[in-house]
């Protein structure tokens, strides 16, 4: 019989030959308990999978071999599993964001390293006796002294770390001691030119002790250095409320108002320049510009009159 005389069924069998069906699943994530294959097949499949992983495999080989140890950046071997995404809280401290696979930039990493979990300290203190609190306070003071020593020798990063450790140990029920730790860390950070972080530490210190003149003065200086003049003036005024004879604060409250006015005038000129450019863009299609309009202030009422001029002729005034 020729091929052209085959029936439809026979023709289909010729065009599409039988393919043997394997009883074993190709999904490597299926466990042996769910596989209907024989023990021999299981062993063969496991060996084949092991060989594929050891030979390097493709980019997806990591997904095919979930039990192969993954080398972490710190050199430790960890099995890639959901458990590796859970932070270690046995030490009593919450895990970092990187424990959850969240990447941080350099500034965020530094902030994460120096982070102090105030809420955690509050909860921890609920189960502490008065003796334990005193012991924790004494321990935090040793870290403060270490930070002071590092600060004096110019080891500012080590000083920040020591003050941070003290803050993580000192109980919340000792606000004066915690205020000093924050203020000292602000001093070290300002030496490292981390003025933004130093201002935050000063604010934390002042929140814990509103009469802490040294912290207020440091924040005032940092605010002026970062051109936050209004905030600096308020801080220097607060210093004078606590110490009316403070010479530096007296000079600052005389100096800063003029600088603030100068800055505001500069900002006003910049804003008017941008508004003028915007007005010219809309007036240009009509053959006009903002030069055709003059703004004059009435000395009696304080209001403004806008006069229109075209070809040297004064137009009607509007107010």
Model confidence pLDDT, tens digit, residues 160-204: 999 999 999 999 999 999 999 999 999 999 999 999 999 999 999
Same domain, 257 and 179: no
**Does 165 reside within a domain?**
yes
Domain that holds residue 304: 291-319
Same domain, 118 and 197: yes
Same domain, 189 and 116: yes
Mean pLDDT of 141-159: 97
Q: Nearest-CA neighbor of 26 among 5, 49, 8?
A: 49
55 vs 22: CA distance, rounded Å: 25
Max CA distance (Å), the chain:
120
In this prediction, residue 111 carries a pLDDT of: 63
**Residue-wise pLDDT tens digits, 57-77:** 444 434 444 443 433 333 344
Q: Is the pLDDT higher at 116 or at 275? A: 116
160 vs 154: CA distance, rounded Å: 11
In this prediction, residue 98 carries a pLDDT of: 54
295 vs 306: CA distance, rounded Å: 5
In this prediction, residue 280 carries a pLDDT of: 74
Statement: residue 125 has pLDDT above 70:
yes
**Does 80 reside within a domain?**
no
Report the percentage of the chain scoring pLDDT > 70. 60
CATH number of 144's domain: 1.25.40.10
**Mean confidence (pLDDT) of the chain:** 73
**Does 23 reside within a domain?**
no
Same domain, 267 and 312: no
**Does 36 reside within a domain?**
no
In this prediction, residue 109 carries a pLDDT of: 60
| Confidence grade of residue 113 (pLDDT, cut at 50, 70, 90) | confident
Q: Is the pLDDT higher at 292 or at 68? A: 292
Statement: residue 85 has pLDDT above 60:
no
126 vs 91: CA distance, rounded Å: 18
**Does 30 reside within a domain?**
no
Q: Which of 45-54, 178-187, 306-315 bottoms out in mean pLDDT, i.e. has the lowest?
A: 45-54
Same domain, 232 and 156: no
Cα Rg of the chain (Å, integer): 37
Total domain count, the chain? 3
**Does 34 reside within a domain?**
no
DSSP letter (8 states) at residue 22: P
Statement: residue 269 has pLDDT above 60:
yes
Same domain, 243 and 254: yes
Q: In the beta sheet, which residues pair with residue 293?
A: 308
**Does 236 reside within a domain?**
yes
Task: Find tokens 């085959």 and name the residue.
Answer: 6
Q: Contact, 260 vs 252, CB < 8 A?
A: no
Same domain, 113 and 195: yes
Decide: pTM greater than 0.85.
Answer: no
């Amino acid at each position: 019989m020729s091929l052209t005389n085959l029936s439809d069924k026979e023709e289909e069998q010729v065009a599409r030959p039988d393919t043997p069906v394997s009883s074993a699943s190709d999904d490597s994530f299926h466990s042996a308990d769910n596989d209907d294959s024989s023990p021999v097949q299981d062993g063969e499949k496991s060996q084949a999978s092991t060989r594929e992983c050891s030979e390097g495999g493709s980019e997806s080989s990591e997904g095919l071999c979930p039990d192969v140890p993954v080398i972490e950046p710190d050199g430790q071997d960890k099995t890639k599993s959901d458990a590796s995404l859970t932070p270690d809280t046995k030490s009593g401290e919450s895990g970092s964001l990187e424990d959850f696979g969240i990447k941080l930039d350099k500034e965020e990493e530094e902030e994460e390293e120096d982070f102090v979990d105030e809420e955690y300290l509050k909860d921890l203190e609920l189960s502490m006796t008065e003796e334990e609190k005193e012991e924790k306070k004494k321990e935090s003071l040793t870290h403060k002294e270490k930070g002071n020593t590092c600060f004096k020798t110019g080891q500012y990063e080590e000083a920040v770390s020591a003050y941070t450790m003290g803050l993580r140990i000192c109980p919340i029920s000792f606000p004066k001691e915690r205020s000093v730790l924050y203020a000292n860390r602000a001093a070290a950070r300002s030496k490292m030119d981390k003025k933004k972080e130093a201002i935050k530490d000063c604010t934390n210190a002042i929140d814990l002790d509103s009469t802490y003149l040294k912290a207020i003065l440091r924040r005032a200086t940092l605010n002026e250095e970062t051109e936050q003049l209004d905030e600096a003036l308020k801080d220097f005024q607060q210093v004078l409320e606590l110490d009316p004879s403070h010479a530096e604060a007296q000079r600052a409250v005389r100096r800063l108002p003029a600088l603030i006015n100068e800055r505001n005038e500069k900002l006003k000129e910049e804003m008017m320049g941008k508004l003028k450019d915007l007005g010219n863009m809309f007036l240009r299609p009509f053959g006009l510009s903002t030069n055709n309009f003059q703004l004059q202030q009435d000395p009696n009422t304080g209001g403004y009159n806008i006069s229109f001029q075209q070809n040297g002729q004064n137009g009607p005034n509007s107010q």
